[in-house]
Amino acid sequence: GAGVSQSPRYKVAKRGQDVALRCDPISGHVSLFWYQQALGQGPEFLTYFQNEAQLDKSGLPSDRFFAERPEGSVSTLKIQRTQQEDSAVYLCASLISTTLANTGELFFGEGSRLTVL
Amino acid sequence: KQEVTQIPAALSVPEGENLVLNCSFTDSAIYNLQWFRQDPGKGLTSLLLIQSSQREQTSGRLNASLDKSSGRSTLYIAASQPGDSATYLCAVRPGNQFYFGTGTSLTVIP
């Protein structure tokens, strides 16, 4: 696609519900990142995929958070038993290259704003 | 862990003024640094990418410099316009992750 696409743009969940957030990266982009952004803060790293392999999940705040990218393209971030502190904007980004020394630009989607009541 | 700091947190300038936004990072072992803008309720839009071997990048009225050894980058905006009003974030990449600052909120007053 032309850009990184995320859905839903807005999600309201009751505490304890499970949610799934989808990211469709730019076609051909090998690397995919999930970030969490609280109001007034910079994005915080959650997890990183290279194709279908999840190479780094050190930023996932708890075992309630799970991400997958089974075919190396679309990715889903799942949050189980949502809590109020999970309320944030979840941003997905993709990058064309895996080479650290000379990467292209990181491109972001519009984000999914999650509100947990 | 890499810490990224952006100063000032907020800036308000009259239209037409030139301005400088600052970004500092604690670990100079980075592969690249990228500047973004973020409009309210939107995602991040890439402005400039500087590889670790580069000193600066320019795009239109924007110029970004990188001094890796001192852990600093600046974003220079020339002849500011009201449409430049947004939050500007810098991010550094020491490995798989990108580390972001908390941003500078810029308001350009017509």
From chain B, the residues in CB contact with A111 under 8 A are 42-43
For the segment B22-48, what is each residue's pLDDT rounded down to a tens digit? Answer: 999 999 899 899 999 999 989 999 999
A65 touches chain B (CB under 8 A): no
pLDDT surpasses 90 at A104: no
pLDDT surpasses 70 at A117: yes
Whole-number Å distance between alpha carbons of A30 and B11 = 37
In chain B, pLDDT over 70 holds for what percent of residues? 100
CB-nearest partner of A56 from B31, B42, B96: B96
Q: Find the residue in B nearest to A101 (Cα).
A: B31
pLDDT surpasses 60 at A1: no
Task: Give me the pLDDT at residue B10, please.
Answer: 96
pLDDT surpasses 60 at A102: no
3-state secondary structure B41-78: CCCEEEEEEEECCCCEEEECCEEEEEEHHHCEEEEEEC
- Please give the average per-residue pLDDT across B75-82, as a whole number: 97
Task: Give me the pLDDT at residue B68, please.
Answer: 93
Interface of B with A (CB under 8 A): 4, 31-32, 34, 36, 41-46, 49, 51-52, 89, 91, 93, 95-103
Q: Which of residues 34-63 of A touch B (CB under 8 A)?
A: 35, 40-45, 48, 55-56, 59
From chain B, the residues in CB contact with A56 under 8 A are 96-97
- Please give the average per-residue pLDDT across B38-61, as a whole number: 93
Whole-number Å distance between alpha carbons of B107 and B110 = 10
CB-nearest partner of A45 from B45, B89, B97: B97
For the segment A35-81, what is each residue's pLDDT rounded down to a tens digit? Answer: 999 998 999 999 999 999 999 999 999 999 999 999 999 999 999 99
Whole-number Å distance between alpha carbons of B51 and B30 = 9
pLDDT surpasses 70 at A103: no
Whole-number Å distance between alpha carbons of B50 and B70 = 15
Q: How far is CA B38 from the centre of its chain?
A: 11
Q: Is the Cβ pair A108, B99 closer than 8 Å? A: no
DSSP 8-state secondary structure symbol assigned to residue B14: E
pLDDT surpasses 60 at A101: no
Q: Which of A100, A102, A107, A110 to probe by mutation at the B interface, max B CB count within 10 Å?
A: A100
**Number of neighbours of residue A57 by Cβ within 10 angstroms:** 15
pLDDT surpasses 80 at A97: no
Task: Give me the pLDDT at residue B57, please.
Answer: 95
From chain A, the residues in CB contact with B103 under 8 A are 42
